[in-house]
Amino acid sequence: MPTANITPQKSWIQRHWKWILPVCLALAGIFFPIAYLMHNSEARQLAILRADASPTLAARLGHPLKYGWFSEGEISVNEAAGHAELTFSVSGPKGKGNLYVEAHKRARFWELDSLDFGDGQEADTLDLLREPTSGSAPHN
């Protein structure tokens, strides 16, 4: 009885890898520089400094606080002015949640307009700009 030489069919990825790879590299080339710029933005760094100085957030999440690498939102900026709306995760030994940031840049300097913490459990968010910070004067 003759034996048939049956070759297993290649998967869709194996058949199309020659165009999938460049598309993935192109998307990564667009996504990661934007994510890097948002991660290192002055608005995000200012929000982190303020959150680190919050005694209420420290009591709620514990120390040390850890901030998620990725930010969602948008930033528009030029040399003298800009606007940012960002959301990124924050966690500590007692819990986790998100920081919601709105900031503007005027005359080359960033200022926070709002900085709120929400853990997804409670309907209310914690306004981190309306409380005194540890080691600094209250923000107006």
Tokens of 34: 């934007």
Render the burial of 39-77: b for 16+ CB within 10 Å, e for the rest.
bebbbbebbbebbbbbebbbeebeeebebeeebebebeb
Which has the minimum average pLDDT: 65-69, 87-91, 116-120? 116-120
Bigger pLDDT: 79 vs 59: 59
Kind and range of the H or E run holding 52? helix 42-52
Residue 79: predicted pLDDT: 77
Which has the minimum average pLDDT: 1-5, 31-35, 70-74, 88-92? 1-5
Q: Identify any residues that bridge with 103 across adjacent strands, giving them in sequence order.
A: 84, 112
pTM, 2 dp: 0.71
| Cα separation, 31 vs 106, whole angstroms | 27
Which has the minimum average pLDDT: 8-12, 60-64, 91-95? 8-12
pLDDT tens-digit readout, 95-131: 899 999 999 999 888 899 999 998 877 667 888 988 7
pLDDT surpassing 70 at residue 2? no
Residue 100: predicted pLDDT: 93
| Mean pLDDT for all residues in the chain | 82
Residue 137: predicted pLDDT: 43
Using CA atoms, how far residue 63 sits from 5, 14, 49, 80, 96, in Å, is 64, 47, 14, 35, 12
